[in-house]
Structure 1
Amino acid sequence: MPLVPTGDLVEQARAAGRAVAAFNVITLEHAEGIALGAERAGLPVILQLSENAVRFHGFPHALAAASAAVARNSSSDISLHLDHITDVSLLHMAPELDVSSVMYDGSEFGYAENVHNTREAVEWGRKHGIWIEAELGRVGGKDGAHAPGVRTDPGEALEFVEATGVAALAVAVGSSHAMTSKSAALDHELIRTLSSMLPVPLVLHGSSGVPDGELTLAARAGMVKINIGTALNIAYTSATRRFLDSNPSVVDPRKYLMPSRDAIAGTVEHSLKILADAASISL
């Protein structure tokens, strides 16, 4: 199928009262596993390429081209997204990479500079048909907005959205990047407040550390785009370890990458069904 714009997937989810999941791609097997999980669940997904993943591969074209090819050969609706982009030159490559959306990360700057730089990214995005997500403050795995106890201020968030014109906003409501245990407790009242005050969809980063029930309630409360990365890596690496521990003489990577890819698909299918259930859950 053709690539679907991220903005379309997000708005469809918002209208249906559910969330759409965005999964981080590091290897080709990630992309294939994500697409397979989406097909099994019968739901759309967003393939995310982080700036760190792009740097790992040396240049963006290979990972983007492979992910786009996987998406086009899938029966599910899939979009391609650049995540946590700080390098403006990489942001400007989005159209040639078949990417329809970018999360511009200006969190390393102070508020005024973040507003200025994010607004420039948004203005560029409008000229080139690129949907821009941003964040207020620092997000997960770093000191700042997703450190324990830190929360997004609704008034400041509204001011930021109005000043920048972003299409979606990542907010701090209790999650953190790179969590390997599902122990995060989200502030659902804050999610509801932000959802009612802000005119744009809310994005949850660091969702791998959020229990299933919390994710369902978060989607019901107003989270629309849910980012998941570490959970896939846990599934991938755990399956690889199990296979190699049981088959120490195997040297053909296809032998252990197959169950590893399938483990990603299982995690994706489960996550998508959890988020789809949000539309039928009452708070």
Structure 2
Amino acid sequence: MENFTVFADYGPLRYLFFSLSLLIYMTIISANLVIVLSVFCLENSLHQPMYIFICSLCLNSLYGSTGFFPRFLMDLLSNTHFISCPLCFTQMYVITTYLGHEVSLLTVMAYDRFAAICQPLHYHSKMTFRTVLLLLILVVLYTVGGAAYVLYQPTTLPLCGNKLNRIYCNDWSVTELSCEDLTAIRITSHFYAIAFFFIHLSFILYTYLRILLVCRRSSSEFRGKALQTCLPHIVTFGNFCISVLCEVLLNRYNIDEVNPSVVIALSLEFLIIPPIINPLVYGLNLPQIRAHIPFRRVL
């Protein structure tokens, strides 16, 4: 099979959708680049583990958005909505690794906050530049390995159709085109998805439980500072969980019975909301970053 057909019935509103999508994409690029430039290029005092992880989160947002928006913008203006197999699987890989990087980075950031608040005397000896670099490398390798497993099945299944009921390529939309019985694959994929997110969620909840116990025994000033550094991470992680839930619901249920507008909105949620929310939450909430953001008076 040489091409897939993506769901793309935009009608006469295609130019409006194109303008809105281009505006959203430019906003994502601008907001995340401001954080990256502020951390890495404009201020040496921000070369600390917490800000390096925030910068990595913004770079991942740029990576995931670029894996989706350029193709989507082209599709909006095109009368045909075909995507080649290599390009489709490339998009699947980018979006899958984007999700994996996001949840893994949020987990590493939870550990960083745990070490800073619960073990402040040992923080600088634990979170050295070498440790931060090693954690980032492990995040990439761990995610790439998981993505290879997720994408292996769609590449080996015989397909009996080419119409994807999504506006982008993902592993389950391609798997559903298979001629074979998908019961075993469905069970396996459910187990893997649940295990993957349960491990990360359990670790993050454990770190925040320990942080709460420390804050309970500390002064109100200490609690205020801890909340200030933890709140952006809590908001980011909560927003990401909602985004992933929307994606999982679309992947596991029959979307033919759902209003197309709802399908499009839910499909785009995890590709739009986190990349916009993340730099805004960190840029506006953390004074250390806000003080070095260009055009901060506008913010």
The structure with the largest helix share of the pair is: 2
The TM-score, its normalising length taken from structure 2, stands at: 0.29
Asked which structure has the greater CA Rg, the reply is: 2
Structure with the bigger RCO (C-alpha within 8 Å, sep 6+) is 2
